[in-house]
């Protein structure tokens, strides 16, 4: 029993990161109908910047987190302005190709300084583990979950409670309508990418102690983010969160009771199964099947 | 182009091994192999307008089928080569199933997941694929003759590529080729003009996978050692770049793109970081500024005949999305 | 006062509006009539900054607005009720109206919304419902209301009565009369000739991207009816 609970706690920890990933993907998708294949690189950039600040520079963790978030945000906004904006009226296929190009280019750029070795990120805090009954959870796990939840809540408040959030939703629902009421849609595009990239950068720093740091690390998270978003019905932010957590827990259970090899393919299998069995996802919305 | 010119160029190519050094010869072989992989991608994306991330997986299946059949089972090259194409085709039909009913966005994600799954299989099904150790590939043999060395292999590659391009040309000029174009320009319209859209798309996937598979086999026998992670996302970006830079919707474009992108990275001395940056940046630049690629530009300058580019080939990529229509 | 001079607009290779001149005085209601495809919507969209003009000039109270993007023309006082209404279908009626209020006038928002609800009592009944559930007439009212809460210097209406029941057309007409009485400057694009002639101070005819003629309504009603048929 306590083993199961421990697995679930570990699943929550990674799952909350997949959820952050999916949340960013969905945000961009809803604003511009773009699937951002470069989203993993936003996470990777955040992780590396956080690493440099936290490790060689030995700055406090909050500083590292803020720097990582800022640099991912900057990168994301730049990608939107330079690559996406000129193509925004083009078909999905064109945009997908462009973001794939960005993804590989950013990876290449990261390989220059960080390519030679695989880095490890030490635990952020060394506090004593938390005991809940017979269950022992490391402080690191607790911190990750708490931060991920806080970030998600902040994003939801932003989307549902602020004027910017309302303008983002308006633009998502009706682009022309947004223009008609005087919303600066260009600003909304940048803001959506900024928020999504900030989430990605934060996820990167939180993911860093859990995984190794290497230029290709974003790919895994991208696919898990896709799987989470697809499971939640691509386009639904709440679905993305639930999907991410479900996949995190599922993969820990599969890893413990079946085989760790299967962890790696779980996102692919989930994407393919969901698309075939329940393409509208758990929280059905979004246009999956051609009309 | 006139058949006479083509035959002249081919004859010229026959003498290539006498003037090239071994390494350049190897690069030429590699570029020719890639041109077939691109041929497959171009037929699907440039002609039939179907977007999918599965092409690198088709290529990988072809490469592995050829390598494993010849190296582990001693199957003759001339049998293993079409077998590689057929294996990829079988996979292409599997992908075509969902592809028929998915929107672009979901197709992109699903086919990416599928491609990763294929790569995972190469790595972990090591009883068959030898996993991350990779597979060594022998020089191709025709009967008792072994095409030892890159210069002799060149003739094998050249013959296969020439036949493939000739057949592809026949296909795009046939009724089927016109059906591909019709689908790209609009499925509803295609349906109205009596085209069986589902069947045509499935055929497009099958043919595209076949060429990519054969290209993969040539790739394997050219580089003579294959490893699983050669068929992932980077490979795919390379292929997108080749097709787009050469010219989407032009058979010649795939050839031009493969030549350029095989030779150019060599100038970067094989540094992975620079190569990735090059592929990625070129892909983005061409998508934004020159979606018709080099052949499109040459066509506009009147340097190659316009008919080399399918009429309206890029209409697919120039089309505005309805959401923002006209704004 | 809004004035257009030699305005040219097009899509891609296609030129759709070929040098249009138009003047709308303060408090005037000007109607633009014309067959489908004449370029009327294109013209309104261009005034609202949603489509770029190729050449020519548009000015509002001596301020040039012809090259401004839509959010700045909005701020300058132009509000468009587009042909497709373009409401936010997943948001409530109130949220739609709130989005029409410019950020600079947020404090006055509730009061302006109250004014609109007085003008269209039907919307008050639906205030918490999503716009996606409204009938065609209610959508037209909401679209007009969403434009009015901006207190525009110029209101642009693109076929506000198209496809509506006669009773609702009457309601919209009365509303326009009331707005005019209140001094609202308006351009009304219409297919419904009677409606346009009933409310407009002057009428422009548009055909194939050109303003065909301009007359004072009260003098030559018959002429227009014979022209448009
Ligand atoms: N988004 C667009 N792209 C290309 N052409 C357009 C677009 N919108 C309208 N047109 C063309 O512009 C012309 C004028 O259209 P429009 O302004 O909608 O006319 P109206 O509103 O008078 O019916 C028509 O010929 C139409 O086909
Ligand atoms: Mg119109």
For chain A, domains (ranges, CATH) are 2-277 (1.10.3470)
**Any idea which residue has 């032009």 for tokens?**
B250
Beta bridge partners of C15: C10
Confidence check: pLDDT of B327 > 50 = no
pLDDT at residue A186, as a whole number:
93
3-class DSSP assignment, residue A206: helix
Dist. CA B55–CA A106, nearest whole Å: 22
Q: Does the beta carbon of C36 sit less than 6 angstroms from any atom of ligand 1?
A: yes
Find the mean pLDDT for residues B117-136: 87
Q: Pick C16 or A57 by higher pLDDT.
A: C16
The partner residue sitting opposite B287, judged by closest CB among A94, A223, A290, is: A94
CB-based contact A101 B287, cutoff 8 Å: yes
pLDDT at residue B309, as a whole number:
56
Question: Which stretches of chain C drop beneath a pLDDT of 50?
Answer: 229
Q: Pick A55 or B309 by higher pLDDT.
A: A55
Q: Do the beta carbons of residue C158 and residue C123 sit within 8 Å?
A: no
Dist. CA B154–CA B24, nearest whole Å: 11
Query: Nearest ligand, CA of residue C39?
Result: 1
CB-based contact B277 A90, cutoff 8 Å: no
Output the CA torsion sign for A138, A140, A146, A148. Answer: negative
pLDDT at residue B291, as a whole number:
83
Per-residue pLDDT band at A291 (split at 50, 70, 90): very low
Q: Which of A247-256, B130-139, C68-77 has the lowest average pLDDT?
A: B130-139
As given in the structure block, the two tokens for residue B102 are 């998915």
Structural domain boundaries of chain B?
Answer: 3-232
Look at residues B24, B33, B44, B64 and name the one whose alpha carbon lies nearest to residue B229: B64
Atom 7 of ligand 1, residue of closest alpha carbon = B326
The 10 Å Cβ neighbour count of residue B26 is 20
| Chain A, chain B: beta-carbon pairs less than 8 Å apart | 167
Dist. CA A254–CA A275, nearest whole Å: 21
| A113–chain B Cβ distance below 8 A for any pair | no
Chain B residues whose beta carbon lies within 8 Å of the beta carbon of residue A179 = 327
As given in the structure block, the two tokens for residue A43 are 């996470």
CA nearest to C82 within chain A: A180
Mutation for testing the A interface, residue in B97, B237, B293 having most A CBs under 10 Å: B237
Chain A residues whose beta carbon lies within 8 Å of the beta carbon of residue C71 = 179, 182-185
Q: Does the beta carbon of C38 sit less than 6 angstroms from any atom of ligand 1?
A: yes
pLDDT at residue A66, as a whole number:
95
pLDDT at residue B194, as a whole number:
84
pLDDT digits (tens, 9 = 90+) for B15-32: 888 888 888 889 999 999
Q: Do the beta carbons of residue B73 and residue B88 sit within 8 Å?
A: no
pLDDT digits (tens, 9 = 90+) for B158-186: 999 999 999 998 898 888 888 888 888 88
CB-based contact A92 B51, cutoff 8 Å: yes
Atom 2 of ligand 1, residue of closest alpha carbon = B326
What's the C44 CA to ligand 1 centre distance in angstroms? 11
Q: Which atom of ligand 1 is nearest to the CA of B325?
A: 1
CB-based contact C48 A180, cutoff 8 Å: yes
User: What is the distance, to the nearest Å, from the Cα of residue A79 to the centroid of all Cα atoms in its chain?
Assistant: 16
Query: Nearest ligand, CA of residue C81?
Result: 2
Chains touching chain A through at least 3 C-beta pairs below 8 angstroms are B, C
Most informative mutation of B320, B321, B323, B326 for ligand 1 (most atoms within 8 A of CB): B326
| A155–chain B Cβ distance below 8 A for any pair | no
What's the A175 CA to ligand 2 centre distance in angstroms? 18
pLDDT at residue A43, as a whole number:
96
The partner residue sitting opposite B284, judged by closest CB among A102, A115, A223, is: A102
pLDDT at residue C224, as a whole number:
55
Find the mean pLDDT for residues A146-163: 93
Dist. CA B278–CA B226, nearest whole Å: 23
Beta bridge partners of C210: C207
Chains touching chain B through at least 3 C-beta pairs below 8 angstroms are A, C
Find the mean pLDDT for residues A132-155: 88
**Any idea which residue has 């290497």 for tokens?**
A214
Chains touching chain C through at least 3 C-beta pairs below 8 angstroms are A, B
As given in the structure block, the two tokens for residue A7 are 């697995």
| B327–chain C Cβ distance below 8 A for any pair | yes
CB-based contact A180 C80, cutoff 8 Å: yes
| A165–chain B Cβ distance below 8 A for any pair | no
Atom 26 of ligand 1, residue of closest alpha carbon = C37
Dist. CA B127–CA B122, nearest whole Å: 10
User: What mean pLDDT is reported for chain B?
Assistant: 84
CB-based contact B327 C51, cutoff 8 Å: yes
């Amino acid at each position: 029993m306590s083993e199961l609970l421990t697995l679930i706690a570990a699943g929550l920890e990674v799952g909350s990161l997949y959820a952050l990933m999916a949340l960013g993907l969905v945000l961009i998708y809803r604003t511009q109908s773009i699937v951002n294949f470069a989203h993993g690189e936003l996470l990777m950039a955040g992780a590396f910047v956080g690493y440099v600040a936290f490790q060689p520079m030995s700055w406090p963790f909050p500083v590292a987190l803020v720097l990582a978030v800022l640099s991912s945000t900057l990168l994301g906004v730049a990608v939107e302005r330079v690559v996406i904006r000129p193509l925004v009226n083009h078909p999905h296929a064109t945009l997908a190709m462009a973001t794939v190009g960005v993804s590989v280019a950013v990876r290449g750029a990261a390989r220059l300084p960080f390519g030679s070795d695989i880095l490890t990120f030490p635990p952020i805090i060394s506090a004593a583990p938390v005991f809940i009954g017979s269950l022992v959870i490391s402080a690191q796990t607790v911190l990750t979950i708490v931060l991920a939840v806080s970030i998600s809540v902040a994003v939801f408040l932003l989307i549902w409670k602020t004027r910017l959030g309302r303008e983002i939703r308006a633009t998502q629902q009706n682009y022309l309508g947004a223009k008609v009421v005087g919303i600066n849609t260009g600003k909304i595009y940048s803001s959506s990418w900024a928020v999504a990239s900030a989430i990605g950068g934060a996820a990167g720093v939180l993911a860093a102690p859990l995984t190794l740091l290497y230029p290709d690390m974003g790919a895994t998270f991208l696919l898990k983010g896709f799987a989470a978003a697809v499971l939640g019905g691509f386009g639904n932010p709440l679905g993305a969160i639930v999907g991410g957590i479900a996949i995190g827990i599922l993969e820990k259970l599969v890893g413990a009771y079946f085989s760790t090899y299967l962890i790696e393919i779980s996102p692919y299998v989930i994407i393919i199964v969901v698309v075939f069995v329940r393409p509208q996802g758990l929280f059905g919305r979004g246009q999956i099947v051609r009309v | 182009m006139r058949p006479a010119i083509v035959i002249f160029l081919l004859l010229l190519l026959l003498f290539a091994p006498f003037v090239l050094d071994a390494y350049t010869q190897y690069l030429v072989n590699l570029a020719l192999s890639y041109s077939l992989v691109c041929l497959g991608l171009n037929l699907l994306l440039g002609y039939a307008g179907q977007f999918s991330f599965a092409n690198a997986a088709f290529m990988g299946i072809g490469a592995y089928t050829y390598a494993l059949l010849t190296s582990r089972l001693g199957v003759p090259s001339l049998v293993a080569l079409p077998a590689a194409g057929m294996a990829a085709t079988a996979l292409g039909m599997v992908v075509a199933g969902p592809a028929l009913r998915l929107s672009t966005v979901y197709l992109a994600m699903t086919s990416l997941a599928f491609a990763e799954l294929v790569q995972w299989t190469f790595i972990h099904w090591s009883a068959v694929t030898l996993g991350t150790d990779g597979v060594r590939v022998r020089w191709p043999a025709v009967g008792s003759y072994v095409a030892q060395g890159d210069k002799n292999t060149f003739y094998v590659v050249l013959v296969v590529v020439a036949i493939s391009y000739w057949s592809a040309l026949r296909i795009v000029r046939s009724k089927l080729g016109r059906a591909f174009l019709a689908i790209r320009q609009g499925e509803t319209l295609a349906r109205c003009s009596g085209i069986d859209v589902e069947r045509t798309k499935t055929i497009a996937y099958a043919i595209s996978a076949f060429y990519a598979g054969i290209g993969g086999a040539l790739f394997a026998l050219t580089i003579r050692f294959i490893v699983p992670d050669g068929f992932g996302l980077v490979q795919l970006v390379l292929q997108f770049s080749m097709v787009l830079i050469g010219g989407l919707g032009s058979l010649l474009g795939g050839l031009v793109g493969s030549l350029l992108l095989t030779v150019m990275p060599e100038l970067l001395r094989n540094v992975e970081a620079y190569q990735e940056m090059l592929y990625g940046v070129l892909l983005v630049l061409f998508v934004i500024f020159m979606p018709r690629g080099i052949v499109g530009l040459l066509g506009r300058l009147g340097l190659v005949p316009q008919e080399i580019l399918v009429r309206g080939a890029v209409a697919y990529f120039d089309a505005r999305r309805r959401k923002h229509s006209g704004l | 006062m809004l004035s257009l001079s030699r305005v040219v607009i097009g899509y891609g290779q296609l030129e759709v509006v070929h040098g249009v001149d138009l003047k709308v005085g303060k408090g005037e209601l000007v109607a633009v009539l014309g067959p489908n495809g004449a370029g009327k919507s294109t013209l309104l969209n261009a005034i609202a900054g949603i489509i770029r003009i190729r050449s020519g000039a548009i000015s509002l109270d001596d301020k040039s607005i012809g090259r401004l993007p839509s959010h700045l023309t909005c701020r300058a006082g132009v509000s468009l009720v587009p042909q497709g209404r373009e409401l936010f279908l997943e948001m409530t009626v109130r949220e739609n109206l709130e989005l029409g209020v410019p950020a600079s006038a947020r404090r006055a928002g509730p009061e302006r919304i109250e004014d609109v609800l007085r003008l269209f009592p039907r919307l008050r009944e639906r205030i918490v419902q999503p716009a996606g559930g409204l009938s065609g007439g209610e959508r037209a009212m909401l679209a007009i209301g969403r434009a009015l809460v901006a207190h525009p210097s110029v209101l642009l209406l693109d076929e506000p009565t198209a496809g509506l029941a006669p009773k609702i057309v009457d309601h919209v007409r009365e509303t326009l009369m009331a707005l005019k009485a209140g001094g609202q400057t308006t351009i009304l694009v219409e297919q419904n000739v009677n409606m346009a002639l009933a409310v407009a101070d002057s009428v422009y005819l548009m055909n194939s991207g050109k303003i065909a003629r301009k007359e004072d309504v009260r003098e030559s009603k018959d002429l227009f009816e014979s022209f448009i048929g």
